[in-house]
Structure 1
Amino acid sequence: MRGAPAPFPWDEAIGLGLGVLRLTPEAFWKTTPRELALALRALGIGASAPISRAAFDDLMRRHPDG
C-alpha cells in the first residue's frame, strides 16, 4: 500500500514563476507544470540530481578543507 502522493508545491511554483522567471500572473496561470519545469531547468534550477556519496567523497579527497 502506498501513501498519498505529495501535494503540488504551489508556493514554490508561484515563487519561481513570478519571482525568478518574472512571469506575469496571467502568463504564470497559462503555463503548464511541464513548461514551468523546463523553463527552470534552462536556468539550471532543478536540472540535476544530488551528488552521489562516492562523488562527494572523491571531491573531498581532491579538495580537502584546511
Structure 2
Amino acid sequence: MLRRAAIEFAAPPQAFWRLSLKEWRALAGAPSAPVLARSGLAALMARFPDEEGADQ
C-alpha cells in the first residue's frame, strides 16, 4: 500500500525515506491509530502505578 502511494505521488527516494510511517499513512488515506481517551489512561495508570523513587 505504501509503495503504491509513493508511486502515485511520484515521491523521489529521498522524500520517501524522510517521511514517517504516520505521514505515509495519512498520505495513503489509511486510518490513523485510535487515540487513548483520558479514562483509558487513568485505567492504565491504576493498573501499572509508578514505583516509589523510580524517577530519582
**TM-score using structure 2 length:** 0.44
Mark the structure with the bigger radius of gyration. 2
Name the structure, 1 or 2, with higher relative contact order (CA <8 Å, separation 6+). 2
**TM-score using structure 1 length:** 0.39
